[in-house]
Amino acid sequence: MSYFDGRVVAVTGAGAGVGRQLAIQLARQGASLSLIDRDQHALNQTISLIGTQSGAIRMSVVDVSDRDAMHACAAETFDASGSIDAVFNNAGVLYTGDVLDAEFDDFAHVMRVNFWGVVNGSKAFLPFIFRSNEGNIVNVSSAFGLMSAPGYSAYNAAKFAVRGFTESLRQEMLILHPQVKVSCVFPGGIKTSIARTARMAAPIDRQAVIESFEHSIARTEPEKAAQVILRGAKQGRPRILVGTDARIIDALTRISGSGYQRLIPATNRANRS
């Protein structure tokens, strides 16, 4: 019997990418699912790919930044299933742009989805997960929650915030509810459509960013990422590093401290010369 067999698991951002693969693999392991995404068509595609290999599946068309809707979704999932054992707060968006070029609305949008979406999902589902004999909260940060990069200040800010929130929550659960495992996920470049759907500041060459991401940065398949995340969640690991690039970034920041903040600009200047 797999770890998730017979458990009720919620997944945000389940309509594409890693969220979709989490849903598919959880279904294969016998989980009953509450799948959450703002795009109903994408959710329908995920459910079609799952087919009949799962327990019960509940679909919710919800924007994770909508606090009231997330709380309602969690309550409705509990009412329908009788329990909730885990939530994977995976939904996220990308934004590229220097601080001087970025609009305040873009900063706010990234924080609403990437940070507040995680907070909303955690707080909405946590009261029900308390009741599980063995619960999980898995929040997705990024390798850019370990290391900042020029041109990604909004994204970095949100992902560092997810890391801080999750590490604090983990300590609270170790004190108050040790049956609840809390993990923070740090993916490197994953082969998803996130760059194609990203917002970008006006001066950015959109096509160049997409090509750079898809050809040079995104190296890990979503299927592999989901496998790593599920294995880490089962083990209750505090940090789940996804991809060789994430492991390198983790090692670099541990070794160099703030030194990487000089290394990246120097490399960037060298590439331009």
95 is catalytic: no
SS3 category, 34: strand
User: What type of residue sits at position 165?
Assistant: F
Q: What gap in Å lies between CA 14 and CA 9, rounded to an integer?
A: 12
Reference 10, options 65, 68, 62, 66; nearest CA is 62
Q: In the predicted model, is pLDDT for residue 239 greater than 80?
A: yes
Higher pLDDT, 267 or 173: 173
Q: Is the pTM of this model over 0.85?
A: yes
* Per-residue confidence (pLDDT) for residue 250, from 0 to 100: 97
Structure tokens at 97: 């742009």
Q: How many CB atoms lie within 10 A of CB 103?
A: 14
The model's confidence at residue 134, banded by pLDDT at 50, 70 and 90, is very high
Query: What does the DSSP 8-state code read for residue 32?
Result: E
**Sign of the four-CA dihedral 172, 178, 180, 184:** positive
| CATH class of domain segment(s) 8-272 | alpha beta
User: What type of residue sits at position 72?
Assistant: A
* Per-residue confidence (pLDDT) for residue 192, from 0 to 100: 93
Average pLDDT over residues 54-83: 94
Phi, psi of 237 (to 5 degrees): -70, 135
Reference 86, options 141, 164, 26; nearest CA is 26
Catalytic residue among 3, 95, 155, 260: 155
Torsion of CA 66, 163, 40, 189, to 10 degrees: 150
Cα-Cα end-to-end distance for the chain? 57
* Per-residue confidence (pLDDT) for residue 56, from 0 to 100: 84
Among 6-20, 96-110, 192-206, which stretch is predicted with the lowest mean pLDDT? 192-206
| CB-based contact 149:157 (threshold 8 Å) | no
Average pLDDT over residues 239-256: 96
114 burial (CB, 10 Å; 0-12 / 13-18 / 19+) is buried
Q: In the predicted model, is pLDDT for residue 247 greater than 70?
A: yes
Q: What gap in Å lies between CA 261 and CA 253, rounded to an integer?
A: 10
- State how far Cα 243 lies from the chain centre: 14
Reference 182, options 158, 162, 157; nearest CA is 162
